Structure 1
Amino acid sequence: MEETLEYGTGKKRNVLKRLLAYAGPYWLWVAFSLILVLCITGLELYRPILVGQVIDEFITKKNFSGVRHIALIYLLVLLASFVCNFLQTWILSLTGQNIIYNIRQEVFEHIQKLSLRFFDITPVGRLVTRVTNDVEALNDMYANILVKMIKNVVKIIGLAVVMLSLNVRLSFYAFLLIPVIIALTSLFTHISRKTYRQVRTRLTAINTYLSEHLSGMKIIQIFVREKEKQKEFEEKSKDLLRANFREMMVFAIFRPSIYMLSVIAMVIIIGVGGSAVIKGAITIGTLYVFIQYIGSFFDPIQELSEQIGTLQSAMASAEKIFTILDEEPLVVKKESPTMLSAIRGRIEFDHVWFAYEEENWILKDVSFVIEPGQRAAFVGATGAGKSSILNLIGRYYDIQKGRITIDGVDIKDMDTDQLRGAIGQVQQEVFLFTGDIKSNIRLRNEEIAEEEIKSAARYVNADHFIEELNNTYEETVTERGSTLSAGQRQLLSFARTLAFDPAILVMDEATANIDTETEQLIQEALEKLMTGRTTIMVAHRLSTIQHADIIMVMHKGRLRESGTHQELLNQNGIYRKLYELQLQ
């Protein structure tokens, strides 16, 4: 899915305003940089005047002591320029990096607050591009572009003022080509804006493709689709190549055009100025100053145009970043939530209706109660709504109708951190992070002591394989835990859940990927785990939930049957059919 973002003039101004707001905390440093810019510009304008003065007042009169005096001043001006340039570059680089750091932190923090529905429909590669490439694209704007744009504007104005003060007629000839430059710059800015946006969009597309297909490389190789995927990648790579080529072509045409205009202007000045020197209307020193200024006059114009182009690139990245930051969480925390002293684990669904999109109902008028410490299981065909119930209990999605309560309190009124902290979830697909065994159990919660980590691992029999590893709990875990077996990863997820000591235990097909021997070890641990905890299980294999206190049968989004294993068999309904089907 390709992004298309077209911002109107008003929105562009809003984007720039928001970008400048990030520089607010550093306004003193920015102001000091602007003062340095004025000093640097003044010193640059002064240097040709010194040389012109040497030519007119000392060289023609063979006054070498005066030449030495001006040379010393020129050296001091160069030294002052060096110091000012160094300070300005250092201050702006430091300020820019701090701003970029703040933006990157804000973007990631905001992404973490977004609802799961956002991640259901947004490719991971696109989000990675936002946090890395797009944020980094703003660095040049803060560290260089904004202040240098001001510097170039001041320099252009300063050059024009000084040239007019020296000779109005010669200045008129120098400014003859300005309308052409303005028209060319306007065209360049318009075209570059489109090319920059295309580059950012194509880069996002290729990052998204890479993220998805590198994660699914095993499937690609299993089905021998390498050549086909290579062709797909080649097309996306060509799209990016073409976008980059168009961007380079814009600069390749614009830069020589501006240079050609500067050469034409120089020829005009030399011709008109040389004639004026011969006639005695101006001095050689004045002509020298004009020649130097006319060369300097077109440089900031070219730089300014290119900086506007870079600013357009930053704006294109900012538009995409602000699109993420403007994304509102679907699940919103209450400002003054109800805090429970302790969560016992009584769960009630009261006429709950839920859909991921519009009115495509996943759950339809579902009502049930699970008492504290009770073991409840949900069974049913794929798509019946079992996993959705688990997601709703932790309020990862909000329901459209009805009410869900924990210990009599509507979960919409509860603090989501307290709610989710009280629920331990064990998923069918276990996600492990890069790090080690210990960090994957603790998840950077330093309140969980090392002995608690080991105790949790012993409880779920994970210590059997951990102790056999070379570095035991310090053993390195690669991305997604690819060096561990499915059973080992699941045992670690059990240890992780137990370490956080939840009041409510949720298991979604927790033993689906585990061999029989490992499952027996887990079943032993589960008996200890479920004691004193409200436990909710989803399972396709009915043998794993036969001893549940209550089994609820879901069918097409509705709760059709409930009772114990034997009671449901006696009802001779959906559950009995599922049971007999599995026996066969």
Structure 2
Amino acid sequence: MSEQNRKSSHGGPMRGPGFGPGGGMMGMPGQKAKNAKGAMKRLLGYLKQRQAQLWVVLIAAILSTVFGIVSPKIMGKVTTILFEGAIAKMKNVPGAFIDFEAIGRILLLLIGLYAVSALFTFIQQFIVAGVAQKIVFALRQDVQSKLNRLPLKYFDSRTHGEILSRATNDVDNIGNTLQQVLAQFISSVVLLVGIIVMMLTISPWLTLITIITLPLSVLITKKVAGRSQKYFAAQQKTLGELNGHVEEMYGGHSIVKAFGYERKSVDKFNAINETLYDSGWRAQFVSGIIMPLMMFVGNIGYVLVCVVGGIFVTRQAITIGDVQAFIQYSQQFTMPITQVANIANLIQSGLASAERVFELLDETEEIPESPAAGALKTPKGHVAFNEVSFGYKEEAPLIEGMSIAIKPGQTVAIVGPTGAGKTTLVNLLMRFYEIGGGSITIDGTDIRELKRSTLRGMFGMVLQDTWLFNGTIRDNIAYGREGATEEEVVQAAKAAYADHFIRTLPDGYDTILNEEASNLSQGQKQLLTIARAILADPAILILDEATSSVDTRTEVHIQTAMTDLMQGRTSFVIAHRLSTIRDADLILVMNHGSVIEQGTHQELLAAGGFYTDLYNSQFTSGGQQPNAV
């Protein structure tokens, strides 16, 4: 396995829409789900766990809508009282007057209805928010648990940004979609049914006129939403490219500066940004015209209702207050339709995210541990590879029939050109990858019969690529052993020759490392990882070019510390600078996934084979020794 760096990319969460009388904002789906029904079915499985709350939401939505929807009709009575009283006065009808007392009672009733409607709307929104967040919480737990069970090859075959996007952005999008859809869909359906019922109670003929515009509204919504979909997909795709480019340029800022790539970087950014602008503008424009079109259709219905309603009033077939109420209902009629169209887009986006999350949850996990998996109480470090075979792909084997026997306490150096399989050997030993054939044993026990946590707990690792997290230096060193005391942390730092530079920092062991630990030099970071390994006090050590990032003087100190640490422990040292492993008990020379030579330094030099050529190639005229083969 070749040593390589991996980069990541990130996206961003969606925003929730707002809406008001007469319509709502169009959703912004990123892409369509390939198997929408399957994703919907699995998502409904999470919703079923919240059935009780959803029933409460439905009841609250019905009550909120009922109390709100009867208000226009009651308001129409006020108009009728005013109109009839005024007409009677104009005709000088004896005893004619405007009943303001009745109007006052009606207005008080309306205030009460609106207040109760608002209360149930609040209850609905409150419960929906809780349901959505609990589902997201459950999804995050499932994703986190799944990531812990996935093999290393899953992470090696995908960018970190892709995995993070599924675990964060997609889960967040599902939560946003659920919160908006559950509230809007239930309210919209109940409101639509309620409006139709109220319109029918006023005038079936006027209701028929209003409903005639419905097919036209549906047709417009379907056509526009379908046309905007490809632009939204292009927008999200380009946004991902832009995020990836920005992160890549930011992560390698010094390299970009060193090679004078600034102009090309900016030009590429501008090109992607221009494409994003174009697709984003088209997506927003096409989806934005749905509201004007819906308002146009609604106004056609409004005009027809006014004309026909006026004729009915003149014929005394309906009161003027009922016409006013019906006009209000007809204006509200398109609102739930528009919201349902908006919800359709949101659902599409949510299902696409759900599908991506469920794809992650369906990934092949590590081979389950044997029910009888145990642990070695006092591991000695006798390691054996017995006819081991392995390949990242079945059709392309990398290691075939490898057999190695390593005695307890031996220092084993693994050398070879890049891609020879050195790190792969270590990954197999720690069971990050499963072997294809043969067996690997520790103290005679097959590693597949040990718990993974127990197996990996036997090892201490210091890698060429340092890993430190955002926290204090003390916490980073103590990561090597749970419950380590202050004194033990300091002793480990001293053993790794890190104590001196730590104390020169403003906050000493309390110095906070940023996310990239860029406030330390590469050599200082390596010293901290070595201190962490020293504190862990493992049975078996793995040192993957552990001193490659430190100066020569510091390397001498670390080699001394490593020599002390390796006493009595089986140690695997992956090395490029062959001068650092002359004293190893056993040197394994690898090439193309196979151990082609093994022996001590002197034995291999005497054999005059591949190791000899490798060793001699590291010396140039002048006796200088390069850092890598």
Q: TM-score range by the shorter chain?
A: over 0.9
Counterpart residue identity of residue 380, structure 2: R
Tell me how far apart the structure 2 counterparts of residues 211 and 575 of structure 1 sit (CA, whole Å): 41
Tell me how far apart the structure 2 counterparts of residues 140 and 93 of structure 1 sit (CA, whole Å): 9
Tell me how far apart the structure 1 counterparts of residues 607 and 73 of structure 2 sit (CA, whole Å): 103
Tell me how far apart the structure 2 counterparts of residues 126 and 349 of structure 1 sit (CA, whole Å): 35
Match of 1:424 in 2: 460
Compute the displacement of 1:292 (Å).
Answer: 0.8
Compute the displacement of 1:294 (Å).
Answer: 0.1
Show the 5 A alignment for 1:279-294: 279-294=315-330
Counterpart residue identity of residue 36, structure 1: A
Q: Aligned match of 1:516 in 552, 556, 563?
A: 552
User: After superposition, what is the alpha-carbon deviation per residue over 1:406-428, rounded to whole angstroms, capped at 9, x for unaligned?
Assistant: 22222233211111121111111
Q: Aligned match of 2:212 in 176, 179, 183?
A: 176
User: After superposition, what is the alpha-carbon deviation per residue over 1:229-282, rounded to whole angstroms, capped at 9, x for unaligned?
Assistant: 222233333343333223212322211111111000000100111111111111
Tell me how far apart the structure 2 counterparts of residues 107 and 199 of structure 1 sit (CA, whole Å): 27
Tell me how far apart the structure 2 counterparts of residues 320 and 242 of structure 1 sit (CA, whole Å): 27
Q: Aligned match of 1:37 in 61, 85, 102?
A: 61
Counterpart residue identity of residue 54, structure 1: V
SS of 1:384's partner is coil
Q: Does 1:297 align with 2:333?
A: yes
* Alignment check: 8 A CA contact 1:508 1:537 kept: yes
Compute the displacement of 1:332 (Å).
Answer: 4.8
Compute the displacement of 1:159 (Å).
Answer: 1.2
SS of 2:385's partner is strand
Match of 1:544 in 2: 580
User: After superposition, what is the alpha-carbon deviation per residue over 1:415-473, rounded to whole angstroms, capped at 9, x for unaligned?
Assistant: 11111121111111212222220121123964233332222112222212112222111
SS of 1:479's partner is coil
SS of 1:425's partner is strand
Tell me how far apart the structure 1 counterparts of residues 420 and 327 of structure 2 sit (CA, whole Å): 81
Show the 5 A alignment for 1:178-577: 178-329=214-365, 332-334=368-370, 336-443=372-479, 446-577=482-613
* Alignment check: 8 A CA contact 2:57 2:128 kept: yes
Compute the displacement of 1:162 (Å).
Answer: 2.0
Tell me how far apart the structure 1 counterparts of residues 70 and 589 of structure 2 sit (CA, whole Å): 87
* Alignment check: 8 A CA contact 1:460 1:525 kept: yes
Tell me how far apart the structure 2 counterparts of residues 558 and 486 of structure 1 sit (CA, whole Å): 32
Counterpart residue identity of residue 43, structure 2: L
User: After superposition, what is the alpha-carbon deviation per residue over 1:15-63, rounded to whole angstroms, capped at 9, x for unaligned?
Assistant: 1222233334443333222211111110121101111223335762422
Match of 1:54 in 2: 78
Q: Aligned match of 1:82 in 115, 118, 121?
A: 118
* Alignment check: 8 A CA contact 1:197 1:313 kept: no
Query: Cα 1:202–1:256, aligned 2, differ >3 Å: closer, same or farther?
Result: same
Query: Cα 1:539–1:567, aligned 2, differ >3 Å: closer, same or farther?
Result: same
Compute the displacement of 1:168 (Å).
Answer: 1.4
More off after superposition, 505-514 vs 213-222 = 213-222
Match of 2:195 in 1: 159
Instruction: Give unmatched runs, 5+ long, in structure 1.
Output: none
SS of 2:419's partner is coil
* Alignment check: 8 A CA contact 2:238 2:275 kept: yes
Query: Cα 1:278–1:6, aligned 2, differ >3 Å: closer, same or farther?
Result: closer
Instruction: Give unmatched runs, 5+ long, in structure 2.
Output: 1-7, 12-29, 86-97, 621-629
Counterpart residue identity of residue 543, structure 2: M
Counterpart residue identity of residue 519, structure 1: E
Compute the displacement of 1:210 (Å).
Answer: 3.1
SS of 1:553's partner is strand
Compute the displacement of 1:480 (Å).
Answer: 2.5
Tell me how far apart the structure 1 counterparts of residues 243 and 442 of structure 2 sit (CA, whole Å): 42
Tell me how far apart the structure 2 counterparts of residues 217 and 447 of structure 1 sit (CA, whole Å): 38
Compute the displacement of 1:82 (Å).
Answer: 2.1
Match of 2:44 in 1: 20
Counterpart residue identity of residue 582, structure 1: Q
TM-score, structure 2 as length reference: 0.87
More off after superposition, 473-482 vs 109-118 = 109-118
Q: Does 1:131 align with 2:167?
A: yes
More off after superposition, 163-172 vs 252-261 = 163-172
Query: Cα 1:194–1:338, aligned 2, differ >3 Å: closer, same or farther?
Result: farther
Counterpart residue identity of residue 270, structure 2: E
Query: Cα 1:317–1:245, aligned 2, differ >3 Å: closer, same or farther?
Result: farther
Compute the displacement of 1:572 (Å).
Answer: 2.1
Tell me how far apart the structure 2 counterparts of residues 77 and 46 of structure 1 sit (CA, whole Å): 9
Tell me how far apart the structure 2 counterparts of residues 296 and 540 of structure 1 sit (CA, whole Å): 75
Query: Cα 1:236–1:148, aligned 2, differ >3 Å: closer, same or farther?
Result: same
* Alignment check: 8 A CA contact 2:379 2:539 kept: yes
More off after superposition, 89-98 vs 422-431 = 89-98
Tell me how far apart the structure 2 counterparts of residues 304 and 374 of structure 1 sit (CA, whole Å): 70
SS of 2:505's partner is coil
Query: Cα 1:5–1:293, aligned 2, differ >3 Å: closer, same or farther?
Result: closer
Q: Percent identity?
A: 35
Tell me how far apart the structure 2 counterparts of residues 444 and 496 of structure 1 sit (CA, whole Å): 5
Aligned length: 582
Match of 2:627 in 1: none
Query: Cα 1:461–1:113, aligned 2, differ >3 Å: closer, same or farther?
Result: same
Tell me how far apart the structure 1 counterparts of residues 366 and 500 of structure 2 sit (CA, whole Å): 42
Tell me how far apart the structure 2 counterparts of residues 89 and 250 of structure 1 sit (CA, whole Å): 30
Match of 2:89 in 1: none
Tell me how far apart the structure 2 counterparts of residues 349 and 444 of structure 1 sit (CA, whole Å): 27
Q: More helix by proportion, 1 or 2?
A: 1
* Alignment check: 8 A CA contact 1:125 1:210 kept: no
Tell me how far apart the structure 2 counterparts of residues 221 and 539 of structure 1 sit (CA, whole Å): 31
SS of 2:605's partner is helix
Query: Cα 1:98–1:205, aligned 2, differ >3 Å: closer, same or farther?
Result: farther
SS of 1:483's partner is coil
Tell me how far apart the structure 2 counterparts of residues 192 and 345 of structure 1 sit (CA, whole Å): 63
Q: Does 1:144 align with 2:168?
A: no
Query: Cα 1:78–1:444, aligned 2, differ >3 Å: closer, same or farther?
Result: farther
Match of 1:582 in 2: 618
Compute the displacement of 1:194 (Å).
Answer: 4.0
Compute the displacement of 1:139 (Å).
Answer: 2.7
Query: Cα 1:251–1:538, aligned 2, differ >3 Å: closer, same or farther?
Result: same
Tell me how far apart the structure 2 counterparts of residues 444 and 66 of structure 1 sit (CA, whole Å): 80
More off after superposition, 136-145 vs 235-244 = 235-244
Compute the displacement of 1:581 (Å).
Answer: 2.7
* Alignment check: 8 A CA contact 1:363 1:558 kept: yes
Higher relative contact order (CA 8 A, sep 6+): 2
